[in-house]
């Protein structure tokens, strides 16, 4: 392998719960990987130490070209500063790029995680050859990455793509972000689990609890999904409802951006067509005909590594 | 004037109710103007004849550099074809650029009207020097023009910017577009007039009818506005409600695009701060802090000529 080492790159996905560091070649083939808890509650210094350890774990032997980082927060891409992060307590104006650069004496690039994932899918996944695409991560929340004319779109202060916080129900639930009826309060994994708990507490007949060790606090989107596999009616109904909400938000994205491609990633995308097909049906029914005909809505292809691979791709794009 | 004629340009705003043709210099100073009814119900051939007459009216003496057209519909900018228009009956795949080009033997450029207006404000109005801005036309409906990195954004099939058709109230009124609870069903002039009529029919005490010759069918957003000037309580309440809905949609735009500048044009913008101030307050309260701090929300400056001036600017941008 040594002769190829000069072309290897490191990508780091810094999330609120996990750090995912990968060593990749320039085609997005992952050669080495280190996944660890971020333990975000310990604060920036501890997390940064863990990022450095994680990079060293994948890159010890490699002569790498650079390091890309996709972080769960708003990033000033030009300066490499994480401005603010709802999922990383204490991260205000942290110059992560400089810190990592000093440690490794290598080019370092910083990007928002969902935005990085859009680039990852564009370079190595479902968006190869497509210059106008929206990547949507549907998991605990809903995040978005926007690629326009082959360029990542950041907005005026690096926080563009907060599509999970568009109101789709003006009378809907209050969101921790301060807004109401946000898309992610209705169509995220958190929303799905919350609705399941509510219905179980109200006495609904369902096998969902069987998949959650009988404990309400263990009910999750994934466990609701498992119950559908055994034909659980409530579980199916809840996922249909989530797919409907997902579709209503997708209509907005389609009407606003008229994109070529929307890629759905994140934890909920593992439900596959069970989620995607009814959501896409809402788009066909309710979006403007022209953009509805123009758009393909597909499952993202890189799975949980989209962010880290996109981060690695930042190095390729910049060199 | 003859020595300057070589630099004159023609801009045409083709709307569902009016054709506005202007002759402008390269600084956006309108030298001549022709405003006439489009009589869209007569179909494309009649309307095209009227466009040609209107251009001849402003450009007879001028040695003009080119003609720009902003049209109320989805446009294929590359081919100069109006693909589809909800406001121009019968306009399917009309090659307007070629038709006008043949008539005048001059370079012709075609663009969606709201998108053209964004360019107009960028070149001659409130957006000079700002490369990332959203122009929002709030009138009969709500339309949007998107400028990213100094470039107009069209989307995959020329229909990007249909921001008036994003759902903000999932349980809201059915929209003629096929969607429900669209922003424009709640925050447009049409919505405001509809609510006023509803409240008057329900017996509300108000002077609004005095401004509408006592006739319900003459109640319009502008007439509701006139009633506020005499301190009419219902009129004030209705405009506050409209401003609130306007603000909720603006929050979405701010969170999604993180723009530097949002310019509000269209008929309702004539209400000025009465509309803008409460709408902006909603943005400050509900949008993400980072993009809310980054954005300026202002009244557009070019008024009813924004589209025509933007159309003229297409010629400048392309030469």
Are B244 and B208 in the same domain?
Answer: yes
- pTM as predicted: 0.94
Are B257 and B296 in the same domain?
Answer: yes
pLDDT (tens digit, 9 = 90+) per residue, B25-35? 999 999 999 99
Q: What CA–CA distance (Å, rounded) separates B17 from B41?
A: 9
- Torsion angles phi and psi, residue A21, rounded to 5: -110, 135
Instruction: Give how far Cα B137 sits from Cα of B39, B264, B275, Å.
Output: 22, 6, 13
Residues in chain A with CB shorter than 8 Å from the CB of B162 are 255-256, 258, 288, 291
How are strands ordered across the β-sheet holding B108-112?
B30-37, B18-24, B8-14, B64-71, B108-112
Are A242 and A266 in the same domain?
Answer: yes
Least confidently predicted of A12-16, A315-319, B71-75, B238-242:
A315-319
Are A104 and A27 in the same domain?
Answer: yes
Distance from CA of B113 to the nearest CA of A (A): 15
pLDDT (tens digit, 9 = 90+) per residue, A209-266? 999 999 999 999 999 999 999 999 999 999 999 999 999 999 999 999 999 999 999 9
ipTM of the complex in this document: 0.93
Are A177 and A78 in the same domain?
Answer: no
Is residue A33 within 8 angstroms of chain B, CB to CB? no
Q: Residue A111: which of A250, A306, A264 has the closest Cα? A: A306
pLDDT (tens digit, 9 = 90+) per residue, A39-95? 999 999 999 999 999 999 998 756 799 999 999 988 999 999 999 888 899 999 999
Task: Average the pLDDT over A261-278 and give the result.
Answer: 97
Q: What CA–CA distance (Å, rounded) separates A66 from B120?
A: 42
Would you call B214 exposed, middle or buried from its count of C-beta atoms within 10 A (0-12, 13-18, 19+)?
A: exposed
CB–CB of A169 and B165 under 8 A?
no
User: What is the C-alpha end-to-end distance of chain B, expressed in Å?
Assistant: 22
Are A147 and A119 in the same domain?
Answer: no
A85 versus A98: the higher-pLDDT residue is A98
pLDDT (tens digit, 9 = 90+) per residue, B208-233? 999 999 999 999 999 999 999 999 99
Q: Residue A155: which of B134, B144, B159 has the closest Cα? A: B134
Nearest residue, CB atoms, B156 vs list A167, A260, A287: A260
- Torsion angles phi and psi, residue B259, rounded to 5: -80, 160
In this structure, what token pair is assigned to residue A88?
Answer: 């990383």
Are B262 and B184 in the same domain?
Answer: yes
Structural domain range at position A98: 2-123+305-318
Distance from CA of A112 to the nearest CA of B (A): 14
A127: confidence class by pLDDT, cuts 50, 70, 90: very high
Check residue B62 and give its pLDDT: 61
Check residue B274 and give its pLDDT: 97
Check residue A62 and give its pLDDT: 61
Q: To 10 degrees, what angle do helices B96-104 and B44-59 make? A: 40
Are A143 and A242 in the same domain?
Answer: yes
Query: Locate tokens 């401003």: which residue?
Result: B243
Check residue A61 and give its pLDDT: 55
Are B113 and B151 in the same domain?
Answer: no
Are B49 and B140 in the same domain?
Answer: no
pLDDT at residue A116 greater than cutoff 60: yes
The answer for B 271-310 residues in CB contact with A (under 8 A) is 285-291, 293-295
Query: What CATH number did the domain enclosing A38 receive?
Result: 3.30.420.40
Are B138 and B225 in the same domain?
Answer: yes
Check residue A231 and give its pLDDT: 95
Residues in chain B with CB shorter than 8 Å from the CB of A167 are 168, 248, 251-252, 286
Count of domains for chain B: 2
Are B97 and B37 in the same domain?
Answer: yes
Neighbouring CB atoms inside 10 A of A87's CB total 17
Q: Which residues 6+ apart lie within 8 Å of B214 measured at CB?
A: none
């Amino acid at each position: 392998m040594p002769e190829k080492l000069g072309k290897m790159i490191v990508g780091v996905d810094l999330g609120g719960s996990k750090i995912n560091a990968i060593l990749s070649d320039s085609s997005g083939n992952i050669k080495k990987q280190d996944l660890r808890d971020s333990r975000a509650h310990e604060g920036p210094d501890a997390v940064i130490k863990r990022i450095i350890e994680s990079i060293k774990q994948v890159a010890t032997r490699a002569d790498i070209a650079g390091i890309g980082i996709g972080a769960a927060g708003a990033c000033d891409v030009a300066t490499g500063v994480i401005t603010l992060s709802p999922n990383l307590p204490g991260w205000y104006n942290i110059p992560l790029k400089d810190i990592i650069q000093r440690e490794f004496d290598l080019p370092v690039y910083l990007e928002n995680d969902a935005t990085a994932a859009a680039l990852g899918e564009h370079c190595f996944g479902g968006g190869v050859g497509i210059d106008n695409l929206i990547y949507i991560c549907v998991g605990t929340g809903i995040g978005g990455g926007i690629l326009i004319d082959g360029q990542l779109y950041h907005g005026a202060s690096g926080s563009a793509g907060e599509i999970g916080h568009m109101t789709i129900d003006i009378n809907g639930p209050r969101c921790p972000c301060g807004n109401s009826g946000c898309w992610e309060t209705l169509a995220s994994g958190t929303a799905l689990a919350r609705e399941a708990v509510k219905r179980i507490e109200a006495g609904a007949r369902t096998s969902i609890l069987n998949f959650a060790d009988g404990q309400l606090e263990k009910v999750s989107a994934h466990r609701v999904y498992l119950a559908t596999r055994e034909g659980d009616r409530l579980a199916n109904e809840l996922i249909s409802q989530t797919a409907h909400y997902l579709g209503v938000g997708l209509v907005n994205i389609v009407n606003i951006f008229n994109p070529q491609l929307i890629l759905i990633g994140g934890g909920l995308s593992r439900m596959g067509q069970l989620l995607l097909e009814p959501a896409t049906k809402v788009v066909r029914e309710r979006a403007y005909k022209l953009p509805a005909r123009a758009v393909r809505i597909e499952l993202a292809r890189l799975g949980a590594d989209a962010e880290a691979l996109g981060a690695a791709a930042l190095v390729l794009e910049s060199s």
